Amino acid sequence: MNDDVYDRELDWIQEDLAMLLPSIAEFTGDRMPALEADLTALLRILDDETETTDDEVYEIAALLLSWSAVHPSGWPWRPEVVALVADTESFASITELDADSAERPWFLRSTAGDATWPRTFLWPDRLPQLSGTDDFSDRDVVWVDGRPMRKVEAEAPPPPPQQQEQQQQQQQQQQQQQQEQQQQQQQQQQQQQQQQQQQQQQEPPPVRLEPYDPFARSAGASRASNARHVRVPVWFATDREHVRDAPAAERFGTGRNTGADGLGALSYGQVTVSIPDSHRKGHLEKPSLFKLEFRANPDKHLIVQELRELDETEWLASIRAEVSGPESDDPADTSDDILLFVHGYNTSWEQAALRAAQFTYDLEFRGLPVLFSWPSRGKTLAYTADEASVAWSVPHLVHVLERLMTETGARRIHVVAHSMGNRATTGALERLVRGANDYATPLRELVFAAPDIDAGTFRQFITDFNAALAAAPDAGTDVAPPRLTLYACGVDTALDFSDRIHRAGRAGQITDGVIVIAPMETVVVTDIVVDDQRDDRLGHAYFCTNRSVIGDLFGVVLHGAKPSERFGLKPARDSVGEYWLM
């Protein structure tokens, strides 16, 4: 076969063998002598200018395949040469086709004539793919000066011993860091799993949303299932006449309970008032004919629902059970406190119970509400009769205050007196402070709201009360004395009426000047806004109908805040001293 192409391929083989022969010992080991003899014989055959026989061609092919199989470095051989020497008849027939013929094998196909040949090589690990496949890649082989060269990564020279030690140390450190990171990840995963398990165990049961109930704690408030109102209990003490077997709202009348000795007797118990979820702060929701409401509905109105009578011992025990919880360091926690409410003139038993529940509920007082109800006639024209009854009730209120301070274990006792109820309150406090050896009592916030009491008499009471506290053994120590707050107003129609009757200014007025006696704090309400005039036609009950005043009392009673710390107050000053405007 004297074809030019075949001669060219044989020339390349001869050059490759001549180049490899000197270094064959490096690659073949114990096979070198036999392989060297075979290659030497092959070179003699190729050097012979005579025509090569078929047997010699097959011998060349066998040597090529043998060399490729044992060569450790993977020296490249042209696959088309192996194919040619393996089938000379096929080669002879193929070479007669055009250079660009699709029938030619891929390694004999040319797009630029016979001068351009595909440079694809066969590596030892790809020998099994030789038969019938064209999936050979030359991406790792380049041609330099017409010869194939394999691209391999050069081996870096071994580092010096010190550098090797450093590298080993770095590798060890990296391994340790990886191990530590893995341990940390495992610990974090374990902690997360434990937290998830704890959350699942501590996950609270499903809840439903309902209106906020400030009496949800020890005051004993309750809510019936599917009800739209809350039941608020109020503990009471009253010297009103007892009406046996009467409904709860009429159990106590307008007369006095004189008792067997004629000195007066007290009745004790607990009355329950329903407050609807739709209740608006400062209101006493009642049935209205304009709304075609002919009967009271607990889901719409405040209603006296139940009354449970107790003797004095049972009454004190029930209060003690409610307020004797663990002591709290939070001064705003009123859960163990008592709020004593003393109503004013023109108030029936039912009205007193409703007002006590509404006021403490709107105030969000979390402790225990107590009502002292004196025998007011509940009529506008019975003013003088109420004056006599409230004076008669003073010793009875003294008795109630003494029992609450000494036998209930209450943390703090706050007193809020309204209108004519301030006469009984100031009289009782005056007697208590005279007979006390110290003021280390639970009395804390004493609030005088719109007091219907002679202004001069009230000034004298405050002066004497402060003097008695200053002279007490605890004065000047860390024991906090009771704090006094006066609420007055210039547009109080009820006090204007009282002023005309007595021809003397009232303590809750400002017509004769604001009463300022330190350390008592005075707040003057300059603007009274009541959404529903039925709740306060005379502008006299603003302490429990005006939201701003209720909010200010929230800061006084629940937080013991100073006027400068409460919202909506502005300082004012006259010749007497400083007071606060709302």
What is the pLDDT confidence band of residue 441, given thresholds at 50, 70 and 90? confident
pTM score, two decimals? 0.63
Do 363 and 341 contact (CB within 8 A), yes or no?
no
The structure tokens 């603007």 sit at 527
pLDDT confidence of residue 61: 52
Question: Does the structure show a pLDDT above 70 at 524?
Answer: yes
Q: Check residues 212 and 290 and name the one with the higher pLDDT.
A: 290
Q: From residue 378, how far is each of 83, 190, 390, 422 by CA, in Å?
A: 126, 71, 13, 17
The model's pLDDT over 264-305, given as tens digits with 9 standing for 90+, comes to: 999 999 999 999 999 999 998 888 776 666 688 888 899 999
The CATH code of the domain at 229-581 is 3.40.50.1820
Residue 344 β-bridge partners: none
Q: Answer yes or no: are the C-beta atoms of 221 and 277 closer than 8 Å.
A: no
Per-residue confidence (pLDDT) for residue 249, from 0 to 100: 94
What is the tens place of the pLDDT at every residue in 100-143?
555 544 434 444 333 333 333 333 333 333 333 333 344 454 54
Residue 194's pLDDT is what? 84
Higher-pLDDT residue of 194 and 463 is 463
Boundaries of CATH 3.40.50.1820 in the chain? 229-581
- Please choose, from the candidates 46, 39, 62, the residue with its C-alpha nearest in 3D space to the C-alpha of residue 11: 46
User: Which pLDDT band, with edges at 50, 70 and 90, does 208 fall under?
Assistant: low
Q: Is 478 helix (H, G, I), strand (E, B) or coil?
A: coil
pLDDT at 46 over 80: no
**Phi and psi at residue 338, to the nearest 5°:** -120, 135
Q: Tell me how long the chain is.
A: 582
The per-residue pLDDT for range 85-96, each reduced to its tens digit, is 444 444 445 445
Query: What is the DSSP track for 272-328?
Result: EEEEETT--TT------GGGT--S--TTTS-EEEEEEEE-HHHHHHHHHHHH-S---
Using only C-alpha atoms, the chain has a radius of gyration, in whole angstroms, of: 54
Q: Are the C-beta atoms of 141 and 121 separated by less than 8 Å? A: yes
Angle, CA of 168, 174 and 179, to the nearest 5°: 125
pLDDT tier for residue 216 given thresholds of 50, 70 and 90: very low
Residue-wise pLDDT for 492-509, tens only, equals 889 999 999 999 999 999
pLDDT above 70: residue 333: yes
> Above 70 in pLDDT, residue 55?
no
551-563 tens-digit pLDDT: 999 999 999 999 9
Q: Residue 178: what pLDDT?
A: 87
Say which residues have a Cβ less than 8 Å from residue 523's Cβ, sequence separation at least 6: 485, 486, 487, 488, 552, 563, 569, 579, 580, 581, 582
